[in-house]
Structure 1
Amino acid sequence: MTNSPDALPDQSLLPKPRASWREALTVYLQPRVLIVLFLGFSSGLPLALSGSTLLVWMRESGVDLGTIGLFALVGTPYTLKFLWAPLVDALHVPLFTRRFGRRRGWLVFSQMLLIGAILLLALTDPAKAPLFVALGALLVAAMSATQDIVVDAFRVESLPESEQAAGMASYVAAYRIGMLISTAGALFLVSAYESTGQTRLAAWMWGYVTMAAMVLIGTLTALLATEPEQSARAEAATSGESAFVRVSRAAVGAFAEFLARKDAWAALCFVVLFKFTDAFSGTMTAPFVIDLGFSRNDYAAIVKGVGLAATLIGGFAGGYVARRYTLA
């Protein structure tokens, strides 16, 4: 092959055209990205209901700090959700999978269980039955972690590569907003119920009932969405296999793919240690602030308000930069 000046250059070696700023921004208005945004809200909403918001309720009810510290273990399902992720990925939910598809079926199913778990937690009394509170909080965390598994799979399978960054930015932003609603929003709501003459216990109960109703936003989103094509193809390809074979393949494939990556164990240890310290220190923040004399409204406005704007701006800016300035 000659290097004549008239020869056309290899198109694969040319830099890819940069997306315009308008294209980079309008990606956030794509229906698929908007679906992911609302599912992100649904994922972020339950986290604080078994975490910081619950701890404020317990401290106001007179539960001692030692018991509150042990409630850090309630978040264990979020850490160990990788253990049952293969089950969610491979197993069918009777009626739901047939009606909505594999991903949407699991979404609706997990959200229905999540609503039930939050309502169960709403009916408990931390002062009289902390054990039942722990059981309710554990169920909320387990159902919330299961929903996270399905939403993550749905997001990856439903978005093309060019929309993944924007989808992740929308997901994180909506996740943070969901957390804000279930922390600052829930605390303000409890205060509002109290101002109507409700007892403190009744106000907390109705606050949690309201949060359970807001999970329906994610359920409606799942019903309006369409099943990802990748999931539908995988379902058709494995329709004749037994549940055991599907679960085994999903489990082996997931762990083998991760462990094949460079420095996989180092990355795993870093993430575990980072989240370990963050989880235990964060558990005591709410009761510490309450013990200092701040009200629940002060905690909602100051502790949970700081950093939200930075998180939202940073998330959307990252998605915009990734869309406009590709790595290739």
Structure 2
Amino acid sequence: MGWTESLRTFIHPRVITMLFLGFAAGIPLLLIFSSLSLWLGEAGVERKAVTFFSWAALAYSFKFVWAPLIDKLPLPFLTKALGRRRAWLLVAQIGIILAIVLMGSIDPATSQDNLMFMALAAVLLGFTSATQDVVIDAYRIEAAETRLQAMMSSTYIAGYRLGMIVAGAGALFLASGMGSEKGHYVYSAWQWTYFIMAATMLVGVVTTLVIPEPQRQTVDKHHYATADYLRLVLVFGCAVTGFALTFFYGSDVFKAVTALAGNDAFVGFLVETVHFALAIAVAVLIGWALVQAGAVNQAMAKDTWIAPIADFFQRYGLKTAFLLLALIGLYRITDIVPGVISNVFYQDLGFSKPEIATAVKTFGVIVSIIGGFAGGLFATRFGVMRTLMWGAMLTAFTNLVFVWLAYAGHDVPVMYLAVTADNLAAGFASAAFVAFLSSLTNVSFTAVQYAIFSSLMTLLPKTIGGYSGTMVDGIGYPGFFIFVTLIGIPVLWLVWAVGKHLQVEQSPSA
């Protein structure tokens, strides 16, 4: 394909479509991540409670659980009218709008009950936005031939970054412009900011309504009744309910244990880790018991989840497979964990929302795109494993710049240096890591295996990130960023070990 033909593909309707769908996918994440953390901080919510809200984004880490349902289960009326992909996409987008409006309708400063309702709305936003991501990924693969996939991915990422700028920098500028600042909290400013963010999702809704449904290019090997999938949804709902009840109703018990230990920050971290693990164990036990009791078609469950996992272990063997899973689960830990508390960190140093919006949400996003291009070029020129090693070193040791900033205080040049180093490293490492994950998938199970990999990639870092506020309370910001740097060192060993066990070959088109 020549340069002229390559450039011409950028104006292909399918490619342009991904720009708008990418924009819709980029809006929700920061509204339950960094922008929400600033809102809660201004509302006087304690720091450790603010960082716990990052768990609302854990839906992105568990999306592989319900992704097969989205792939198989028809929606009444909508699937017939719009097609299976557009029907699920529209439902997800309406759910996102509803969740954002609900969040905007709640003032977290007025009561603990309101804070709980805000958390539930944030969880709804995380679930619906993760669902939208699953559908967009499927639509992108099915909507066009192979020669357009690279361009569609490029425009999707560009749209996603634009959405993040709007939901990050845009939201901060709006709230600040309407008068809300740290020390001068104005609920109506954040309320209207979130209402406006909900309105921006209409870009995705209109796109969904006007684009054509892709032709189905694969045929299911197995056909199960709709009732089988509905039963699976009910079992999933029971497991989620078990998790929620265990986590929320067990809170008082675990708080009491922490109080007995003198409210020590480290003990609190360990206690809350056990608390979270227990809730997950209860959910898994409920799901397993219901499957064993025959509540779900066991053959369907095996075809959906067991076969892709078994294939992975069969291809790589136990030792290499566990090394790969450890690397996948830990590679981004030095990037994601400090990201949870970064906005609160800037705020505590005295930076204003416009300063944070300009440096982090606009300049930082542009720098991360540059880092991504650099990571792709290095992976093509020097190989994926070597680039993974450089990316792991960069993401770990650039956290030391934040130690400098913590001591420097409100120093704008040092802030921009930290933002530049952090985003270049994150973009560089992410590009190499996506290429690495793609190389691990079997073409027979691409969707499920990639969903599992991408979910595992964020699960542990986001979980630990929820305790970042507790850690800062105990060891301070300099100690926290040194800790984050140190936990990146085992990742370097994992990259080296995987390189010894696995030869990854990456084509230039990946």
Output one character per residue of 1:271-301: Cα deviation in whole Å (capped at 9) or x when no partner.
Answer: 2213444333211111111111111111101
SS at match of 1:92: coil
Q: Deviations over 1:23-82 (max 9, x none)?
A: 122212111111122111111110000110000001111111111122222221111111
User: How many angstroms apart in 1 are the aligned matches of 2:154 and 2:72?
Assistant: 27
Counterpart Cα distance in 1 of 2:104 and 2:300: 35
Alignment of 1:290 onto 2:347? yes
Aligned to 2:176: 191
Give the Å deviation of 1:139: 0.9
How many Å separate the matches in 1 of 2:15 and 2:307? Answer: 27
What runs of 5+ residues in structure 1 fail to find an aligned partner?
Answer: 1-18
Determine if the alignment matches structure 1 residue 102 to structure 2 residue 79: no
**Offset at residue 124 of structure 1 (A):** 1.1
Give 1:65's aligned residue: 47
The equivalent residue for 1:153 is 138
Q: Counterpart amino acid of 1:109?
A: V
Aligned pairs for 1:1-328 within 5 A: 19-128=1-110, 129-194=114-179, 200-230=186-216, 234=219, 241-244=225-228, 248=301, 249-252=303-306, 254-255=308-309, 262=316, 265-312=322-369
Q: Is the 8 A contact 1:90 1:247 kept in 2?
A: no
Structure 2 CA distance for aligned equivalents of residues 194 and 203 of structure 1:
7
1:265 deviates by 4.4
Aligned position for 1:7 = none
Q: Which amino acid aligns with 2:130?
A: A
The whole-number CA distance in structure 2 between the counterparts of 1:266 and 1:150 is 30
Deviations 1:158-180 (A, max 9, x none): 12111111111111111111111
Q: Secondary structure at 1:230's aligned position in 2?
A: coil
| CA contact 2:32–2:54 (8 Å) conserved in 1 | no
Offset at residue 239 of structure 1 (A): 7.7
In structure 2, what is the Cα distance between the partners aligned to 1:315 and 1:303? 16
1:238-272 alpha-carbon deviations (Å, 9 max, x no partner):
78844527964444565456556545544433222
Greater helix share, structure number: 2
Contact 1:43-1:147 at 8 Å conserved across structures: yes
Aligned-partner residue type, residue 37 of structure 1: L
1:190: Cα distance to partner? 1.6
Contact 1:74 1:138 in 2 (8 A): yes
| CA 1:63–1:106: 2 relative to 1, 3 Å | same
Shift of 1:194: 3.0
In 1, distance between residues paired with 2:306 and 2:71?
Answer: 12
In structure 2, what is the Cα distance between the partners aligned to 1:131 and 1:298? 30
Distance 1:87 1:276, change over 3 A: farther
Quick check: 2:21–2:136 contact (8 Å CA) kept in 1?
A: yes
Specify whether residues 258 and 155 from structure 1 end up closer, same or farther in structure 2 by C-alpha distance, changes over 3 A only: farther
Counterpart amino acid of residue 23 in structure 1: E
Distance 2:359 2:148 in 1: 34
Task: Quickly say closer, same or farther: Cα 1:225–1:167, change in 2 above 3 A.
Answer: same
- Given the two structures, how large is their TM-score scaled by the length of structure 1? 0.82
- 1:26 and 1:65 map into 2 onto residues whose CA distance is 50
CA distance change for structure 1 residues 167 and 44 in 2, over 3 Å: closer, same or farther? same
Is the 8 Å Cα contact of residues 25 and 132 (structure 2) preserved in structure 1? yes
| Aligned-partner Cα distance in 2 for 1:122–1:203 | 10
Q: Distance in 2 between matches of 1:60 and 1:234?
A: 52
Q: Is the 8 A contact 1:173 1:311 kept in 2?
A: no
What is the identity percentage for the equivalent residue pairs of Structure 1 and Structure 2? Answer: 39
- Secondary structure of the residue aligned to 2:331 is helix
SS at match of 1:194: coil
The total of aligned residue pairs comes to 303
CA pair 203-239 structure 1, distance change in 2 beyond 3 A: same
CA distance in 1: counterparts of 2:158 and 2:312, whole angstroms: 27
CA RMSD of superposed structures (Å): 2.9
**Helix, strand or coil for the counterpart of 1:162?**
helix
What amino acid is aligned across from residue 272 of structure 1 in structure 2? G
Does 1 or 2 have the higher relative contact order (CA < 8 Å, sep 6+)? Answer: 1
SS in 1 for 2:62: helix
Structure-1 separation of matches of 2:189 and 2:508: 50
Aligned-partner Cα distance in 1 for 2:44–2:155:
39
Question: Contact 1:122–1:205 at 8 Å: present in 2 too?
Answer: yes
Output the CA distance in 1 between the equivalents of 2:37 and 2:71: 33
